[in-house]
Structure 1
Amino acid sequence: MAQQNKNQPDEVEVESEENEQGKDIEVDEEELPSAAAAIHEQIRQDGEKELERDSMALLWSAVAAGLSMGASLMAKGIFQVHLGDIPGGFLLENLGYTFGFVIVIMARQQLFTENTVTAVLPIMHKPTGSNFLLLFRLWGIVLIGNIVGTGLAALAFNHMPIFDDATRDAFTHISEKVMANPPAEMFANAVVSGWIIATMVWMFPSAGAAKIVVIIMMTWLVALGDLAHIVVGSVEVLYLVFNGSISWHEFFWPFALPTLAGNIIGGTFIFALISHAQIRNEISQKAKAEAAAKKRRAEREKQSAENSQS
């Protein structure tokens, strides 16, 4: 029955040595060369599961994540209105930025920047054309779903009778601050943001019950640095689009394209590559040692069989 399910047209499977051998990825730290290797393999296992998920499930989860990210703008705007100029207000206001991330990650919704490291590790492990297609499929679906969700949140904030004028003005002020950066700065900020989010994902396997603390700590840092994030930023910039302050063209440039490129480079080509490189040789050496041990066992068994026959 399991083999029949694998042959269904809607099923996808990541190409990996473990899948070819019918095994699971080893994530037990005691069976791996180092703690870093155990973290890497845990994240690679999670990445394979995400790459193999059904397209519609991915899309709806991504739309939900985009909507949830509206909580970051909402909390930050409400804090700004009520904190005013009190000492420490800047710190508390930016704490509101973390709300959307907490909801999305704890609810296991699909967030684009989280996938820039999680889903990339299986491809780095086995960079085949099929695996790259699965990665681009995941990224495309999740990014589209996130943008749709953020657009719905921005529309609701603009047109539903939820917030007073002071809060709407705060939303506008926060969003205009995002658009104040030229494309080069938007890109540079997004590289750092992508790297921080990737670092956060790398910390999850060893975070345990402190996972929510890790989320708040790392995303609060993104907010304090006024760094660019493609999903949270889309809520903010689309708010300006829907209230007529800027055009759709300005959403894509100077915001979306530089920010998207920076997040991908920071999370994938910097963090994920370095993280993969540090354990690739360890895992390779372990695989070679296991293969050599298997070969020696086979030779001993063959020799023993020949001796018994003689």
Structure 2
Amino acid sequence: MNTEDHRPQSDDEADGAQNDSRDESERRLRNAPDDGEVMRDYFAFNEIFARVLSSADHELAASNRYLFWSALGAGAGLGLTFVARVVFTEVAGEESPGLLGNLLYPVGFLIIVLGRYQLFTENTLTPVVLVLTRLASVASTLRLWGVVLAANMIGAVGVAALLAWFDVFTPERVAKAVEMGRHAHEQGWFDLFSKAVIAGWIVAAMVWLVHAARDTISKIVFVYVLMYFIGVAGFYHIITSSVEVFYLAFTQSDIGFFPLFPTFVLPVLLGNTVGGVTFVAVLNYALFAEHEDSDLFQRYGEQLSAKDWFFGSAARRISR
């Protein structure tokens, strides 16, 4: 028998084996996928960012006519959220929308996300990251926001009027709808703003996760869970919450319609915008800034000059 095969390893041989093991580990780490090309059901952070940029490019390049009608449908679609809250709250016997009353709060958002309608709070994420990277102008984003917000609000007013002037609700559900509207209307300006900031953050985070999802089921789960959270927590969304107070104004003589805009619509609008932009778009851009010289980022073309970035009147199509 060859005794050399069983002799103990020397210190040099042991050190050599450890070095070989370390080199193998480092080699495997260098070869690990970091761009999602191998794990096709998973997007890396910069790939999600690229998908957001592409979506924003599409939205900014859309015509005012398309944006208006799509956003009008979105405003009307979110009226279903109000209907669902009223019906489920009354059926569940809850004094105010709770776990059961908010069960279908996400229904309007599911219609919008899966149907690709234009919703203002969704657009607080995608165009802003495009502007932050100086691939689109501030003016083009303001155009998008103006058209979409106006159409969203028109849709919300239309649904509130329809529900108030036609026999859609039973008397019991009318009482619940009025109670919900009064609860929102009685909130203070800063309370509305504060709760709207969190709602804007959640909606923008939902948009980011939807861009990270590859299949429809995942998107449905993301939308349902996060939007249900908004309803249960009592946060305020500019369109769904506006439907509530508009309904109140159309059914109660002591509530004026136009005073709602400075006292309710404005703080919720500002809160949603601040939440969406600050907590999601800016933070995500800050994280991505480290990779702005990567091939993935460079394929989106040259950045705009300072003048074009601020005053440009139209979105520039990103080079593919």
TM-score range, shorter chain: 0.7 to 0.9
Q: Which residue number corresponds to residue 294 of structure 1?
A: none
* Post-superposition offset of 1:284: 2.4
Residue 234 (structure 1) aligns with? 242
1:134 to 137, 140, 160: 140
Partner of 1:10: none
Query: Which 5+ residue runs of structure 2 have no aligned equivalent?
Result: 1-34, 300-320
Structure 2 residue 121 is the aligned partner of structure 1 residue 110: no
1:49 corresponding residue in structure 2: 58
CA distance in 1, matches of 2:162, 2:242: 14
Counterpart selection for 1:95 from 72, 78, 103 = 103
Q: CA RMSD in A?
A: 2.3
Deviation at 1:245, TM superposition (A): 4.2
Question: Following TM superposition, where does structure 1 have runs of at least 4 consecutive aligned residues deviating by more than 3 angstroms?
Answer: 28-31, 285-290
Residue segments in structure 1 that go unaligned for 5+ positions in a row: 1-27, 291-310
The aligned amino acid for 1:114 is E
Describe how 1:156-305 pairs up with structure 2 within 5 A.
Answer: 156-207=162-213, 208=215, 209-243=217-251, 244-284=253-293
CA–CA distance in structure 1, aligned partners of residues 278 and 94 of structure 2: 40
Question: What whole-Å deviation, never above 9, does each CA across 1:60-91 have from its counterpart, x for those lacking one?
Answer: 111111111110110110011111049x9820
| 2:90 maps to 1:84 | no
Distance in 2 separating the partners of 1:136 and 1:289: 25
Q: Could you list the per-position Cα deviations for residues 3-43 of structure 1 after superposition, in whole angstroms to 9, with x for gaps in the alignment?
A: xxxxxxxxxxxxxxxxxxxxxxxxx7449xx8111101101
> Does structure 1 conserve the Cα–Cα contact (< 8 Å) formed by 2:157 and 2:246?
yes
User: Given the alignment of the two structures, is residue 119 of structure 1 paired with residue 135 of structure 2, yes or no?
Assistant: no
Q: Per the alignment, do residues 58 and 224 of structure 1 end up closer, same or farther by CA in structure 2, a change over 3 Å counting? A: same
Q: Which of 72, 85, 90 is equivalent to 2:81?
A: 72
Q: Are 2:72 and 2:154, in contact at CA under 8 Å, matched by a contact in 1? A: yes
The Cα of 1:206 is off from its aligned counterpart by 2.5
Work out the CA distance in 2 between the residues paired with 1:179 and 1:66.
Answer: 20
One-letter code aligned to 1:225: A
Q: Deviations over 1:216-247 (max 9, x none)?
A: 10001111111111011111111112123411
Whole-Å separation in 2 of the counterparts to 1:79 and 1:287: 47
- Name whichever structure is richer in helix by fraction: 1
Would the aligned equivalents of 1:83 and 1:89 in 2 still touch at CA under 8 Å? no
1:145 aligns with 2:151: yes
* Greater C-alpha Rg: 2
